[in-house]
């Protein structure tokens, strides 16, 4: 490989980028805007759950239980006077959950007998319903531990003490923002390079490149360099936005993140360039790049859905997509602060995918360039 010719190709690509405001906007403006938008829009936190309460007991003890739900901050309580109104609230969507306190609740609790409660939850949104049930279970368990039996406090035999590592506040932003970096870069990297070689064919400038001594590998690597620089800039910008604006902790090594990003970008950019070389059409390459990167990066990377819960066939398919490894890398470096001793497997996988993508691009490009 002649590095002077490769750098000449890189300069040529930079000139074309400067003359294409759409590509510049795609590379420099869209990533931070998407991180800001999705960082605020995507949240898995469940708060302000509409809870309708029917208190048939009307005692100080039952009112303290309702106050415990209000004080938790997770529920917005609406007190009902009739039980039929509770079922209507679930049907109309005015309430996500119904808490029914039967008559005699306080008496049973004071006598040491089981004091049943009824919690009706709208299961239309299974995830929110599950979280609401766990919140309610925690509140009632804490209330039960504070209950009295003949004036004596009930103390359970076993009291579990839990501690959450890496994300003690359990804020979804701390998980979403690092994963967003991987998803957004996967999509934009493929879209940017999907236009490169196809643009040369559509503009009629590829024939000029064929007549020069430049080799296939020099064309591919030279065209990759400017987009590598854009991708690295976007990652540094995303780190700044995530830590400064969203308060996401960054506990790892920035140099390791940059190195891993470099390899990841080679794989993602190489895939986009492969589509560009194979299809020779900017429209087709863009469409294929969007379909082939957006859905896998969003659904098969572990960003939203846990890979371990997917069918076996889909679990195997995730190994083909660079975003699968990069989501793990960004989350681990941001939140856990781990090093290469933990992430070397993901790094090797990205190296293999990057080599395969570049090799496939050069192979497809063989007939066009001598």
Range of the domain at 312: 3-43+171-364
Kindly indicate the confidence band of residue 366, based on its pLDDT and cuts at 50, 70 and 90: low
Question: Does residue 195 sit in the same domain as residue 114?
Answer: no
Q: Is residue 37 situated within a structural domain? A: yes
Question: Does residue 148 sit in the same domain as residue 179?
Answer: no
Final residue of a structural domain among 153, 179, 200: 153
Q: Is residue 162 situated within a structural domain? A: no
Q: Is residue 165 situated within a structural domain? A: no
Question: Does residue 284 sit in the same domain as residue 195?
Answer: yes
Which of 319, 327, 318, 281 minimizes the C-alpha distance to 300?
318
3-7, 225-229, 233-237: segment of lowest average pLDDT: 3-7
Give the integer Cα–Cα distance in Å for 67 and 306: 36
What's the mean pLDDT in 15-28? 81
Which of 81, 51, 86 minimizes the C-alpha distance to 66?
51
Q: Is residue 12 situated within a structural domain? A: yes
Question: Does residue 147 sit in the same domain as residue 176?
Answer: no
pLDDT score recorded for residue 370: 43
pLDDT score recorded for residue 290: 81
Which of 222, 264, 224, 261 minimizes the C-alpha distance to 352?
264
Q: Is residue 220 situated within a structural domain? A: yes
Final residue of a structural domain among 153, 180, 204: 153
Query: Mind listing the pLDDT tens digit for each residue in 117-161?
Result: 888 888 877 778 888 888 998 888 888 777 654 445 555 555 556
Question: Does residue 234 sit in the same domain as residue 358?
Answer: yes
Q: Is the pLDDT of residue 43 over 80?
A: no
Question: Does residue 138 sit in the same domain as residue 266?
Answer: no
CATH number at residue 149: 3.40.1710.10
Average pLDDT of the residues of the chain: 84
Q: Is residue 158 situated within a structural domain? A: no
Give the integer Cα–Cα distance in Å for 87 and 82: 10
Q: Is the pLDDT of residue 360 over 70?
A: yes
Question: Does residue 29 sit in the same domain as residue 54?
Answer: no
pTM across the whole model: 0.79
Q: Is residue 19 situated within a structural domain? A: yes
Question: Does residue 112 sit in the same domain as residue 77?
Answer: yes
């Amino acid at each position: 490989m002649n590095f002077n010719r490769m750098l000449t190709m890189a300069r040529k690509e930079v000139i074309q980028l400067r003359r294409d405001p759409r590509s510049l906007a795609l590379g420099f403006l869209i990533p931070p805007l998407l991180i800001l938008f999705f960082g605020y829009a995507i949240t898995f936190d469940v708060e302000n759950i509409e809870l309708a309460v029917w208190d048939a007991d009307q005692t100080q003890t039952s009112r303290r239980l309702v106050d415990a739900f209000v004080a938790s901050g997770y529920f917005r309580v609406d007190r009902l006077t009739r039980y039929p109104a509770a079922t209507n609230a679930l049907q109309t969507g005015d309430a996500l959950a119904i808490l029914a306190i039967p008559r005699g609740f306080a008496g049973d609790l004071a006598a040491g007998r089981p004091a049943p409660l009824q919690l009706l939850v709208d299961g239309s949104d299974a995830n929110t319903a599950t979280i609401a049930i766990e919140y309610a279970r925690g509140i009632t368990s804490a209330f039960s531990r504070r209950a009295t039996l003949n004036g004596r406090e009930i103390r359970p035999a076993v009291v579990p003490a839990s501690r959450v590592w890496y994300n003690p506040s359990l804020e979804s932003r701390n998980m979403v923002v690092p994963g967003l970096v991987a998803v957004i870069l996967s999509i934009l990297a493929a879209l940017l390079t999907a236009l490169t070689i196809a643009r040369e064919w559509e503009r009629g400038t590829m024939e000029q490149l064929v007549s020069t001594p430049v080799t296939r590998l020099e064309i591919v690597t030279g065209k990759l360099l400017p987009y590598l620089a854009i991708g690295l800039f976007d990652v540094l910008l995303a780190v700044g936005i995530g830590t400064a604006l969203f308060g996401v902790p960054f506990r790892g090594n920035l140099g390791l993140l940059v190195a891993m990003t470099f390899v990841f970008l080679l794989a993602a950019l190489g895939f986009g360039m492969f589509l560009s070389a194979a299809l020779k059409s900017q429209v087709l390459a863009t469409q294929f790049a969007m379909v082939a990167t957006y859905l896998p990066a969003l659904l098969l990377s572990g960003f939203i859905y846990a890979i371990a819960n997917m069918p076996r066939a889909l679990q195997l398919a995730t190994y083909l997509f660079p975003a699968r490894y990069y989501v793990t890398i960004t989350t681990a470096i941001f939140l856990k602060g781990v090093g290469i001793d933990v992430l070397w497997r993901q790094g090797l996988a990205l190296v293999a995918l990057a080599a395969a993508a570049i090799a496939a691009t050069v192979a497809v490009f063989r007939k066009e360039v001598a």
